[in-house]
Every structure is written in C-alpha cells, then in structure tokens.
Chains A and B, each alone.
Chain A
C-alpha cells in the first residue's frame, strides 16, 4: 500500500487524484504528492527501516509507489563519509560527504528515476523520456533498458562526452538539441504535450521529485537519527534542494526525528546563478539567465523550483552561495586530494561553496555539516583535464626518472618528500 492522499497544488492547495500530471488546472502551480502522515507515523519505525533493503526503498512508506519495480537498479543507501582531511583543510570540526557518485549510473538522479520508473510502469507507459543536463539522461536510459521501455532523452548538444556516452550506451534515443538545457526542456515539454510518453521531469515530475527526499532520510539515519546543523547542496532547478528540506520535515512529521532541522545552503556557479543572485539582493523573483558555466549539470537558467529554494534557504537560516568558475576545478581537485573522491563539476561548486562559507564564517566551525556530492568525476573530465598534465615525463630508465624528479623537487626537500605525503601537486593547483 502507499500512504498517498492526493496530488496537491503548491500554490492554491487544490487536490487531484494521482495520475501522470504535474500542473494545477486552476492556477498552473506545480503539483506535489501529499501523504497521510498520521497513518505513516502509526506504521513506520526506525527498526522497520533498518530491516529494509539497502536502497531508497527502505523508506517506501514516504515514497509515492508501493514497491520497487521489478526492474529497479538499486539506487540509494550510498556512503556517508566522515571527511576529516577536507574538514581540516577548511577549518571545520565535523564534516560529512554524502557520496552519491556510487549510484548505478553514478549520480543522485538514479533515486528520482527509480521512483518515476516505478510510477511509469504503474500507469502503463511504454516510453520513458526526459530533458537532461546529462545525469538524468543516463539514469533514464539505464532504467528504461532494465524495464524494457523505449527511451528518448533530450540533451543540449554541447554536453560533456562522458555524459553523452554514459546515456547512449544503454540504448536510449539521444535527441541532441542545438541549444541550451532550457531550450531542450522547452522542446521536451512540447513533445510531452503531443506524445503519450512518460517524461520523468514533466508529467511524472511530482513523483520523480519525491525520490530526492531519500537524501535527507539516509543522512539522518546514517548519523544515528540525528539532523546535521548545516547542509550544502548544489542547485540547478532547485528541486533537489527543496525536496531534501521536505525530507527533514517529513521525518519530524512522522515522529522519527524531534523536529530539528538543518540550515540549508545552496551552491551555484557564476556562469549560472539565478537563485544565488536573487538571494543576494533579497528578491523573491528569479530572473532567468543564459548559462555559460562549466558545471553543466547545474546549468539551468530558468530554475523551476528557484522560488521555493529561496524560501527554504531563508526559512532555515542558510544561504545561496555563488562561486567563481575558476574555483570549480579547484574544488574538484581539493575533494579528490583530501578525500580520495573524484566527483563531477557540480561537486566542485559545492566544495568551493563550502570553502567560501568556512572562510566567511557562515558555517560555524562547530556545526555538524553535510555536503551532498551528487555525481561522479569521470563524467566531466574535460573540465579538469587541462590542469592535470602529467608532472613527470620520462624515458623508461631510472636515470631519466631521477633527473625528472630532481627537476620537480629541490634536493633539500627530497628526503622529506620521499617519506611524507606529496603535497606538491595540490599546492601547485591552488596557485
């Protein structure tokens, strides 16, 4: 059984029966899944969750589908890493990373697509589709393959090679749109209107978005049913950010937590920062932009949930940070070189934002902080490859190696370097 009561309009509160629909017919506001929290509270417990599967489906009671589909890929229940080295580098006491790079298609999008696919099968669709900045395309394509559905994914033509290959390999039809994500998404919405396909981010959006709540549920459970003081989340459309917030609230609503909620801080890059810009000026209006950021997975110039993201940041006492484009690759490198975690450019934005928050005193050094690392670095190698040319180029002789080593490290430092960790490349990167 599910505990879903209805789809409810976020703007006017009108309710609709469950179906493949995402917009209030009266006010055009977005629809959201509404649950019977009293019934959930009666049936849910920390013990029952702990006995559940090692995937997002351990929180089935708080998701809008009865069970994982037969074709489920097993998204979720990813590691929460205590990041002592990065914490030290940033001057923070207790920092954790939620590592969603290890999902089936290497990003958090597997969570949302798992829910959307189960719902698509329930509604009887034969085609799964989406508009995507890359990660969603891979998740939809892989899930469709496993579920035996046809798939069409609409992507901007200039995506990273890793994202294109990572979506195409599963057999979806890639529709490469000569334009940016917002244009691909507009085209997708026209297509959605004409073809009877399950567009996970359009007509299945209310269900799809619910999958992101599991990123709050898992962190709370992994911290021993505790809420962190501060979380940092990258922002593209703002959907992930607002659903993580919904997650904390629901845990309190059903009695699994005592009602504490973290400060919620969002991260955007200078090349696409409409939400951060509105936050900085105290405005509630998001002015759309034409993105030019290298963090392409965050390059949504017209963020559908931007307004709600502003509300969450302000209500929770958090911020929406904007970081410079050149800080993105540095953030990727800092994460890799402190924690051994190679994440994509969105994580570079998140880590750069963490650094900025710490430097400016916006994160208290005693705050328990969680940063969400949402996608794998192998997807966006172009963004960082240039800065990573081999340090030593040698012929295959020991002499050549030692000559090269001598050029790299002054003799006085060599014995120390031989015994200690090599920080040379990290330092050179940060210059």
Chain B
C-alpha cells in the first residue's frame, strides 16, 4: 500500500488534473523527487534551488505540518496522507 499525495488546484495543470497521486516513498523529500520525476516542474514549485521547501509552501503528513516533524526527512508509511497547501492569510 502506498501513500497518497493530495494535489491542490494550482498544481493540477502539472498532474493532468489529477487530485490525488499515489507514491511509494520512504520520506517526504523522496516523495517530492518521485513527483518531479513523474510530473516535471512540480518539484521546483515546491522546493527552491537549495532543495528546501519554499517558504510559502506548507506540507502536511496526516494533518501535521512537516516543519513540526522532520521536514523533508519526515518518514512516510503506507496509507499516510500528504497534503500540499500554499500559504494562507489569517484570521
């Protein structure tokens, strides 16, 4: 069983409209690399030249911000849900 990545609207042009992508990756970083390999251009939307998550990108694993976990090294288990959210205004 693989992990599910939920793709937000602004990125769906790159995934031919797909809302959810299944990946087999052990970490969030590997998951982004796998997405880039399948959908060229997606990786650079998410990460900067240094390979770090862009500051206005939020990535969640099962609802938790990866910046509270291990960042790109956050491990993924089968069945995990990865969600990508552009920054939002408040509140």
Genuine A/B complex = yes
Q: Which of B2-10, B22-30, B32-40, B72-80 contacts A (4 or more CB under 8 A)?
A: B2-10
A189 at the interface (CB under 8 A from B): yes
A268 at the interface (CB under 8 A from B): no
In the complex the two chains form, is A183's CB within 8 Å of B89's CB? Answer: no
Q: Which of A49-57, A93-101, A296-304, A349-357 contacts B (4 or more CB under 8 A)?
A: A296-304
A201 at the interface (CB under 8 A from B): yes
Q: Which of A166-174, A249-257, A285-293, A332-340 contacts B (4 or more CB under 8 A)?
A: A285-293
Distance to closest chain A CB from B11 (angstroms) = 8
In the complex the two chains form, is A304's CB within 8 Å of B89's CB? Answer: yes
A429 at the interface (CB under 8 A from B): no
In the complex the two chains form, is A303's CB within 8 Å of B56's CB? Answer: no
Pick the contact of B88: A26, A189, A285 (CB < 8 A): A189
A60 at the interface (CB under 8 A from B): no
Pick the contact of B83: A26, A131, A186, A288 (CB < 8 A): A186
In the complex the two chains form, is B86's CB within 8 Å of A208's CB? Answer: no
Contacts of B13 in A (CB 8 A): 25
Contacts of B91 in A (CB 8 A): 131-133, 135-136, 181, 185, 201, 236-237, 297, 300
Q: Roughly how many angstroms separate A21 CA and B10 CA in the complex, as a whole number?
A: 9
Residue of B9, B54, B83, B88 most packed against chain A (CB within 10 A): B88
Q: Roughly how many angstroms separate A303 CA and B90 CA in the complex, as a whole number?
A: 7
A202 at the interface (CB under 8 A from B): yes
Q: Roughly how many angstroms separate A135 CA and B90 CA in the complex, as a whole number?
A: 10
A213 at the interface (CB under 8 A from B): no
Contacts of A11 in B (CB 8 A): 56
Q: Roughly how many angstroms separate A193 CA and B12 CA in the complex, as a whole number?
A: 11
Contacts of A185 in B (CB 8 A): 88, 90-91
Distance to closest chain A CB from B19 (angstroms) = 8
In the complex the two chains form, is A133's CB within 8 Å of B55's CB? Answer: no
Contacts of A238 in B (CB 8 A): 90
* Interface mask (B29-51 → A, CB under 8 Å = 1, otherwise 0): 00000000000000001100000
Size of the B side of the interface (Cβ < 8 Å), in residues, is 26
Given contacts A183-B63, A186-B63, A286-B55, contact A205 B89 (CB under 8 A): yes
Contacts of B89 in A (CB 8 A): 201-202, 205, 208-209, 237, 239, 304-305
In the complex the two chains form, is B88's CB within 8 Å of A201's CB? Answer: yes
Q: Roughly how many angstroms separate A25 CA and B14 CA in the complex, as a whole number?
A: 10
Contacts of B15 in A (CB 8 A): none
Given contacts A28-B56, A186-B60, contact A201 B10 (CB under 8 A): no
A30 at the interface (CB under 8 A from B): yes
In the complex the two chains form, is A302's CB within 8 Å of B86's CB? Answer: no
List CB contacts (< 8 Å) of A260-311 with chain B.
Answer: 285-288, 290, 297, 300, 302-305, 307
Q: Roughly how many angstroms separate A141 CA and B36 CA in the complex, as a whole number?
A: 41
Contacts of A193 in B (CB 8 A): 8-9
Contacts of A136 in B (CB 8 A): 90-91
Q: Roughly how many angstroms separate A131 CA and B88 CA in the complex, as a whole number?
A: 10
Contacts of B46 in A (CB 8 A): 28
A29 at the interface (CB under 8 A from B): yes
A321 at the interface (CB under 8 A from B): no
Given contacts A30-B56, A285-B55, contact A237 B90 (CB under 8 A): yes
Contacts of A135 in B (CB 8 A): 91
Pick the contact of B65: A189, A205, A288 (CB < 8 A): A288
Q: Roughly how many angstroms separate A307 CA and B8 CA in the complex, as a whole number?
A: 23
Contacts of B87 in A (CB 8 A): 30, 302, 304-305
Look across to chain A and name the residue whose beta carbon is closest to the beta carbon of B58.
A302
Look across to chain A and name the residue whose beta carbon is closest to the beta carbon of B52.
A285
B85 at the interface (CB under 8 A from A): yes
Contacts of B55 in A (CB 8 A): 285-286, 307
Distance to closest chain A CB from B44 (angstroms) = 8
A8 at the interface (CB under 8 A from B): no
Distance to closest chain A CB from B17 (angstroms) = 13
Contacts of B45 in A (CB 8 A): 26-28
A325 at the interface (CB under 8 A from B): no
Contacts of A25 in B (CB 8 A): 10, 13
CB-defined A-B contacts under 8 Å, sample of 8: A29-B56, A181-B91, A189-B8, A205-B88, A237-B88, A297-B91, A300-B90, A304-B87
Given contacts A136-B90, A236-B91, A302-B65, 19 further A-B contacts (CB under 8 A): A23-B86, A26-B45, A30-B87, A133-B91, A186-B63, A186-B85, A189-B85, A190-B6, A193-B9, A201-B90, A201-B91, A205-B88, A288-B67, A288-B68, A300-B91, A302-B58, A304-B56, A304-B87, A307-B56
B residues near A (Cβ < 8 Å) are 6, 8-11, 13, 45-46, 54-58, 60, 63, 65, 67-68, 83, 85-91
Give 10 closest A-B pairs by Cβ, nearest first.
A237-B90, A304-B87, A133-B91, A23-B86, A23-B10, A201-B89, A300-B90, A236-B90, A239-B89, A205-B89
